[in-house]
Structure 1
Amino acid sequence: MTQQRPRYIGYGIWLIIASIIGWWAAFQLTVEKFIKLEDPDSLSSCYFSVILQCDANLDSWQGSAFGFPNPIIGVTGWMAVLVMGVAVLANVRFPRWFWGLFGLGITGAFVFICWLITQSIYADNLGTLCPWCMVTWSVTIPTFLATMVHLARNGTFATSERVQQRAARLMAWVPLATIVAYAIVIMMAQLAGLDLLGEVYRAIF
């Protein structure tokens, strides 16, 4: 009897949820960029204070790191994640090289947002926290962590059954690792004098 392939429902659902949230944030930033191009003196809808705003990030060179607005990367990239999420739920079989390319893309996104985080917090021309950017960060980090673990458990990184079993157990620790990553970003912002917690509190209440 042929052994039934495991179904990674939780991972597939997360990819879909993350892609929808990430795409919406990128779309909102794209709209804000269009508005800024039409009226450079206008304030974006996500402008809450000098520290908590999108305007400075959109107008900076870091906001167009590859020669075009960064949100365009998100609008296109998150659609790929959505397709993968649906494929995982449908239990579609992909070759190792395909999963490897997907992992490479997710890793690139993670490295890019890590760079953007440090630029937002420490760059002399910024020192701001972009609300929609932070939404993107918040879903990219766990997506990267979950994808790396998934590639270990589905045989992309190693064909060893022992490695795959250990990786499967490791998936339960992804939420905790995500919280730790969030805490590190918050600590970086707080130590840099941006008071992320206070700014978000004042924006909400």
Structure 2
Amino acid sequence: MHLTSSKKPPVGLAVFLIVAGAIGFAAAFALTLDKFTMLEDPTAQLSCNFSVLVGCSTNLGSWQGALFGFPNPLIGVAAWSVVITIGAAILSGARFARWFWLGLNVGVTGALAFVIWLMGQSFFVLDVLCPWCMVTWVVTIPVFLAVTLYNLKTGIIPGSARVRRLAAVAYSWIFVITIACYLVAATVAQLQMDFLHRL
């Protein structure tokens, strides 16, 4: 079973985590600044507000935007910083124990679940698309896929040889799988919100 004892670090994964983490951090930071602006002036027009359908104010001002009692973007600022740090550590030659990779997988799975819930709230309840939120959704999905499939194909997540082979194939097709996930989300949004005719 191929675990983290491999001599070859996952450089591609590391670079992707840094890039995706930087994008996610930028989106979360921008949302945090917008939340501060709203707290200072509830009537402020945010730069991310383009129309009734596309904007950040509704999401930031809703209870869904502070699910745990504080603004959701603060979670992103902290979490994406960790993702960037992990990617940089891998590039520098760090080797993580199996429990660390499993913990990371739990984290990205939780992030994906949270993002799916937020997408549902945007599509079905708030009826608005938040630009910076969508950036977070866009990077969270492939980060979950990359970490999970890497852990499956290397045996960090226990599985049969067939599961590891399938995971290795899927890992090489992450871009296509990610696009398919985007299309599913866009289809749900279109069916529920009819956003193409409302833009």
TM-score scaled to structure 1, two decimals?
A: 0.89
- Which letter does structure 1 place at the counterpart of 2:135? V
Structure 2 counterpart of 1:25: 27
Task: Give aligned-pair identity as a percent.
Answer: 46
- 1:41 equivalent to 2:48? Answer no
What's the CA shift for 1:156?
1.2
Aligned match of 1:113: 115
Change over 3 Å in CA distance of 1:26–1:145 after alignment to 2:
same
Corresponding position of 1:202: none
Give the length in aligned residue pairs: 195
Q: CA deviation at 1:98?
A: 1.0
1:116-136 deviation per Cα after TM superposition (whole angstroms, max 9, x unaligned)? 00000001xx10000000000
Q: Relative to structure 2, which stretch is displaced further, 24-33 or 95-104? A: 95-104
User: How large is the RMSD of aligned CA atoms in angstroms?
Assistant: 1.8
Partner SS for 1:192: helix
- 1:15 pairs with 14, 17, 32, which one? 17
Work out whether residues 127 and 194 of structure 1, in 8 Å CA contact, stay in contact via their aligned partners in 2.
no
Letter in structure 1 aligned against 2:128: T
TM-score of the superposed pair, with normalisation by structure 2 = 0.92
Counterparts of 1:111 and 1:138 in 2: how far apart (Å)?
Answer: 14
Contact 1:51–1:127, Cα closer than 8 Å, also in 2? yes
Structure 1 unaligned regions, length at least 5: 200-205
3-state SS of paired residue (1:48): coil
- Residue in structure 2 matched with residue 142 of structure 1 by the alignment: 142
**Alpha-carbon distance change, 89 to 167 in structure 1, aligned in 2, over 3 angstroms:** farther
Give the structure, 1 or 2, with the largest relative contact order (CA under 8 Å, sep 6 or more): 2
Q: 1:148, 1:91 → 2: CA distance?
A: 21
Q: Which amino acid aligns with 1:195?
A: F
CA distance in 1, matches of 2:124, 2:110: 21
Question: Relative to 1, partners in 2 of residues 1:197 and 1:145: Cα closer, same or farther, differing over 3 Å?
Answer: farther
Match of 2:192 in 1: 192
Q: 1:139 to 1:102 in 2, by over 3 A?
A: same
> What amino acid sits opposite 1:116 in the alignment?
L
Alignment CA distance shift 1:35-1:104 (3 Å)? same
Q: What is the distance in 2 between the residues matched to 1:24 and 1:142?
A: 17
Change in Cα spacing, 1:188 to 1:160, as seen in structure 2 (3 Å) is: closer
Q: Structure 1 residues 75 and 160, CA, compared in 2 at 3 Å: closer, same or farther?
A: same
Maintained 8 Å contact 2:52/2:128: yes
Q: Structure 1 residue 162: deviation in Å? A: 5.7
Instruction: Decide whether the 8 Å contact of 2:123 with 2:193 is kept in 1.
Output: no
Unaligned runs of 5+ in 2: none
CA contact (8 A) 2:53 2:198 kept: no
Whole-angstrom distance in 2 between the partners of 1:198 and 1:51: 7
**In 1: Cα distance, 2:33 partner to 2:172 partner:** 37
